[in-house]
Amino acid sequence: MSEVEKKKITRDGLRNAFKLFKYIKPFQGEYYVGLFFLLGSTTTSLIFPKLLGDLVNAANKESVSQSMNEVALLLGAVLLAQAIFSYFRIVLFVNVTEKTLAFLRQDTYNHLIKLPLKFFDKRRVGELNSRISADIILLQETLTTTLAEFIRQIITIFGGIALLAITSFKLTLFMLAVLPGIIILARVFGKFIRKFSKEVQGQVAESNTIVEETLQGIQSVKSYTNEYFEIARYRKKTEEIAEVGIKSGRYKGAFSAFIVFGLFGALVAVIWKGSSLLASGELVAGDLFSFVIYSAFVGGTIGGLASVYTSIQKFIGATEDLFAIFSEQEEDIQDIAKLPEKEILKGAIAFADLTFAYPSRPEEHVLTNINVNIGADQMVALVGASGAGKSTIASLLLRLHDPISGAILFDGKDSRDYSLSALRSQIALVPQDIFLFGGTIRENIAYGKPSATDEEITEAAQKANAMEFINRFPEKLDTLVGERGTQLSGGQRQRIAIARAVLKNPKILILDEATSSLDSESERLVQDALEKLMEGRTSVVIAHRLSTVRKADQILVLDHGQLIEKGTHEELIQITEGIYRNLSELQFNLH
C-alpha cells in the first residue's frame, strides 16, 4: 500500500491517535524539552520581522533611539538562538520518535505473532506488512515533523496576527479581509490541478502497460497479424493523454495568472493601504516593512495548514488501522523453559463427537461427529479424497483451530485444558509444502530447538538422511537455502524439515502427505528418515499414496468430513465396495 487512506478526523479517530502517546510516555521528559525548543524556535522566528522593521526605523534617529548596529547585533543573537533552538528541537523529536517507534514496532509484531490462525486466514500478508511498515513510517513522519509543524503554524498564525494588530490594527483588518481568502482559493485551485496531473500519470502508466504487454507478447501479436490493432490501441491512449495534458495546461495557465494577479495583487493592496497610513503619519516605514513580512508569514502558514491537515488525516487513518490489530484477541502463548509434569503427553489421542466448521463458513461442516481412539505410540493413517477433512484434523490437533462441538482428548484430558504452548511444543508437523527460512541449513534445522548444540543439529540431520546432501555443499551446514528454500530440491527440503522435527523430539508426530511430490529416489530417502522419526511416538500420517500407510496400526477413511471406515490395511481391503478397497485396487491393481 503506497499511501494510507485519508479518513475524517472524528472523536473515535482522535481517541485512537491519543493511544499512541502511551508509547511516548517513557520518553515524555525528552518530548517536553523538545516542545520547549519548538516554542523557542517559533518565538524567535516571530521576533525576526519585528527587528528587521526596527533596523529600517533605526535609519531615522529621531523616531528610534537604538542605533542600527545595536539592532543588527540583536538580529544576529536572535538568529543564533533560533538556530540552537531548531537543532535541539529536531534532535530531541527524532530521538523520541525513533525510540517510540521501535517500542511500537516491537509491540505490534509481538501482538501479531501471537494472534490465532483464523486472524491470518482473513488477512493478506501484504496488508499486515503494510501495518508494520508503511503505517509506522507515516507515524514516524507525523511525530517527527507534522505535529511540530502544526504547533509551529498555529503559534505563527495567532502570534503573527497579534503582532500585526499591535503594529497597525487598521491594516491588520484590511489584510485579514484580503490575503487569507486568496491563499485558501490558491490551495483549492492547486489541489484541483494536481488531480489532472494524477490523471495524466495514470494514463501514461496505462500506455506503458500496452507497450510492455505487446513487446512481451510480440510472438502472439505477429502470429495473429495484430500490429495495426496494437498501433491503433496505443495511438488512442496517447491521444487521450495529450487531451488531458492540454486541458491541464489551460488550468495551469489560469492558476499561474491567478497567482500573479490574486496573491501579488493582495500583497500590493496591503502595501497600498499601508502606504496611505504611512502618508497620514499613522505608520512608520519600518513598521510597514515588518507588517509586509508578517503578512507573508501568516499567509504562507495559512496556506500550509491544508497540507498539514491532510497529513494528520493520514495519521488518523494509520493509527485506526494499526490499533484495529490490537483489538484482536491473542492466543495464550507462554515461553516454557521446562514442562510441568501434569502437561507432559504420553501420546494417547481420542476424538469425541468431533465436529468442526471454519469461522468464515460456519454453516459448512468440514468434520462431523468423528469418534476415534488412538493408543500411545501407534501409527494412524488418514485416507480420503481432497477436501475430506484430513488436514483439518492436523490443524485441530495443534489447536490452530478449536472444534465447534465435541473434543480432542490427549491422555484422556481435553486439549483445551492444556497450556497451548505446552501442547504445541510436544507435537511436530512435517507438511507437504515445506517452508524454509532464508538463512542457512543449520538455522533451519535449529528452528526445531533454538538452543540446540552443533552436535545435536548434526545428529538430527544424520537421522533425517540429510547429511548425504549437506556434505556435498562447500559450506556444509552453513549453506544458504535461499528464499523459502528455493536453492534446494523438494526431497532436500523435506529432509531438513524432518531433521527439524527430530530435533524437536515430539511425542506426537503429524505427517501431512510428506512424500507425495517426490521422485522415487528422494521418496525412498525421505520415507526411511520418516520411519526412524516415527519410532517411539504417536504418528498421524496423512497420505494419498497408500503404499506409505500399509503398516499403520489404524487406517481412518474419511469422506466429506465423516469417518466412513477404520481398521488395518488387511481388514479394510476385505470390505466389499469399501472406499479403501477401491483406492487400493486403483493403486495396487488388487483383484
Residue 430: closest CA among 467, 391, 459, 466: 391
410: left (phi over 0), alpha (psi -120 to 50) or beta: beta
Q: What is the pLDDT of residue 1?
A: 41
Q: What is the pLDDT of residue 591?
A: 41
Q: Is the dihedral of CA 533, 539, 543, 548 positive or negative?
A: positive
pLDDT along the chain (591 residues), means of 10: 49 63 78 84 76 64 58 78 85 83 80 78 67 68 70 77 75 73 69 66 70 77 79 82 75 71 71 74 70 72 67 70 74 75 83 83 82 87 79 84 86 84 84 78 84 86 82 84 72 83 85 65 71 81 73 84 83 77 68 41
- Residue 585 has a CB neighbour count (10 Å cut-off) of 12
Cell numbers 482522535 correspond to what residue?
A: 14
Cβ atoms of 55 and 69 closer than 8 Å: no
Q: How far apart are CA 402 and CA 381, in angstroms?
A: 21
Buried b (16+ CB within 10 A) or exposed e, 31-54: beebbebbebbbbbbbbbbbbbbb
Cβ atoms of 176 and 253 closer than 8 Å: no
Distance of CA 286 to the CA centre of its chain: 55
- DSSP character at residue 115: S
Cβ atoms of 5 and 135 closer than 8 Å: no
Q: How far apart are CA 31 and CA 352, in angstroms?
A: 58
Q: What is the pLDDT of residue 64?
A: 47
Q: What is the pLDDT of residue 125?
A: 66
Q: What is the pLDDT of residue 3?
A: 45
Cell numbers 494577479 correspond to what residue?
A: 261
Residues 6+ apart with CB under 8 A from 271: 288, 292
Exposure of 378 by Cβ count < 10 A (0-12 exposed, 13-18 middle, 19+ buried)? middle
Cell numbers 486466514 correspond to what residue?
A: 121
Residues 6+ apart with CB under 8 A from 337: none
Q: What is the pLDDT of residue 4?
A: 46
Q: What is the pLDDT of residue 63?
A: 45
Secondary structure class of 434 (helix, strand, coil): coil
Cβ atoms of 383 and 556 closer than 8 Å: yes
* Cell numbers placing 119: 486472524
| Residues paired with residue 405 on neighbouring β-strands, in sequence order | 355
SS3 content of the chain, % helix, strand, coil (to 5): 65, 10, 25
Question: What type of residue sits at position 350?
Answer: A
Q: What is the pLDDT of residue 55?
A: 65
Question: What type of residue sits at position 199?
Answer: E
Cβ atoms of 314 and 3 closer than 8 Å: yes
H or E element in which residue 119 lies: helix 117-121
